[in-house]
Amino acid sequence: MRTSLEYLFGWGYRDIEKLEELLEAAEKFNIYPDEILEDIKEIENDPTDINSWIYSTMSLLFYKIMDEVEKEIYDKNIIKKVEKIREEFSPYVNAMDSWFNNFLDEIDLQKDKNEIIEEVIKAIEKM
C-alpha cells in the first residue's frame, strides 16, 4: 500500500508511516477515515495532500482524547490545565516538521485507549 501511495500521490514513506500510526490510534477512539476526509473538506484542505490527513487526524484525535480525559477527572486544577492545553493545541506544530512539538507527540498512541487516557492524565498532572 505504501508504494502505491508514494507513487500515486508523491507521499513520503515517513509521512505514510506517521499517518498509519495516527489512523490506528484514531480508530481506538472511533474516528474513521470518512470523518477525517469530511474534516479535511470542511477546512478546505487538499485531500490528496498527506499533511491534510495528518493534521486533521491529529486534530480530531486530540480533541476526542481531551473529551475522554475530561470525563475521567474531577480535579478543577487539572480541568483548567486541559482547557489551557486545548487552547494552545495546534496540529500544525508537531515533531514531523519543526523542532516544536504538540501534546500528542509526548503520548504513546500505540497503547490501548484506556492506557492512552491514563498516560495523558499523568502527563497533565505533571504540568
Q: State the cell numbers at 50.
A: 498527506
* pLDDT of 32: 98
DSSP-derived secondary structure letter, 103: G
pLDDT of residue 99: 41
Question: Structure pTM?
Answer: 0.83
31: phi then psi, degrees, rounded to nearest 5: -110, 120
In degrees to the nearest 10, what's the CA dihedral of 71, 66, 76, 81? 170
Cell, residue 105? 507527540
Count how many domains the chain has: 1
In tens digits, the chain (127 residues) has pLDDT values of 556 766 667 788 888 888 999 999 999 999 999 999 999 999 888 998 998 999 999 999 999 999 999 999 988 998 998 998 888 887 765 545 544 456 777 789 999 999 999 999 998 888 8
Q: Which domain holds residue 46?
A: 2-126
